[in-house]
Chain A
């Protein structure tokens, strides 16, 4: 074990472990679901042939013309190949919340009140961002 390993706090090591496992899992699933999407294993909600007519549009126009719902609507459409790919993307985006949740007990045990508060507020911020309650915007 190097000197640097000795100098890292236990919550930092725990954070790194969870991040590592989550990152490898998320990225592997991202590649797998994308291949399933591209080879047509699961039919996409937007046909692959039509997608290039949408990606040149501003997002509000794309939503209007494609009929795609915003927020977590994709979660109800996981049978479609393109929507399935959102699952690993969402998992990767939730990973930070999982890491923060894991280190809170360690910080609490150390009576590191300031960092416990920071971690809780960060989790709230990320949950608010993920929830979609901030609403959708348009040009």
Chain B
């Protein structure tokens, strides 16, 4: 069954590559640039979706190598450097994060790295708050959202620089709430060939932090892996593998509710969403394959620099300086 699913996944992978190659090669050499009466350059309709596909592919590769979600790179970079309005970029960013989480979810759940009992209560809080975030985000003026996005991205850069990871955090005693809910588990750690029993503590604090995380995910369309992982790992004491995997799976629930708000408000354009989703997913496939031959630390520094530039640009744009 698993072999059949792998064959199916590989088949889809190669079909998508083939389609993109055909579409890309047939159109890219016939690029048509029209100059409007105002003197602005208007490209053919497929020009920016193609750029989006290529850019998303690159972001997908970098996201895997740097260990971050695609959404956090996608929103500031696409809104900062391409002509799409921030409303549509946030809508597309959420669908990108959702698609990535849906694709990774089954494998992570089956292998026991993502934990459903840990995810369900957190997802309930985060998805509810992401609806509020999305509604407020779409109601606020663009320059305010842009400024807040820039500040948030720069905050994420700081988190990426200073946040430590604890592979197996020490949880001397699980709290009462996590015990009542039965949130604990066991997983096999292949690097040391050992079964790891894990439990969590400070569950009420973790749940409270997910109010903020959900709200920000909905407001900025960023996904929220950058915040989920430190909270799960450093605050609640889940092992890093469980934290990363559960965080990824969580996005499939959190981003669903916010994505619906953007979709119902007309802020989802298929011509932006599909190339972005396909590009990020293909990039992730390639990223996973080249992970072994790259230096993640170098990539991570590069991503921090790029995010720093994109965050500063968003901040300045929001303040009317850029």
Residues on A facing B (Cβ under 8 Å)? 2-5, 7-9, 11-13, 15-17, 19-20, 22-24, 26-28, 30-31, 34-35, 37-38, 48-49, 51-52, 54-59, 62-63, 68, 70-72, 82, 85-86, 89-90, 92-93, 95-96, 103, 112, 114-115, 118-119, 121-122, 125-126, 128-130, 132, 134, 136-139
Contacts and interface: CB of A to CB of B under 8 A. Distances in A.
B113 A85 contact: no
B297 interface: no
Given A55-B272, A96-B253, A134 B131 contact: yes
A83 to B, nearest CB: 9
7 contacts: A15-B109, A52-B45, A62-B87, A86-B268, A125-B127, A129-B260, A134-B261
Leading 10 A-B pairs by shortest Cβ distance: A4-B112, A20-B106, A85-B270, A16-B109, A132-B264, A3-B188, A59-B87, A137-B139, A129-B260, A129-B257
A6 to B, nearest CB: 8
B244 to A, nearest CB: 15
Contacts, number: 208
Interface stretch (B114-122, B160-168, B228-236, B309-317): B114-122
Nearest to B94: A93
B95 A17 contact: no
Classify the secondary structure of A's interface with B. helix
A121 B123 CA distance: 11
Given A19-B105, A118-B124, A93 B98 contact: yes
Contact of B87 (A51, A58, A132): A58
B110 A16 contact: yes
Nearest to B12: A28
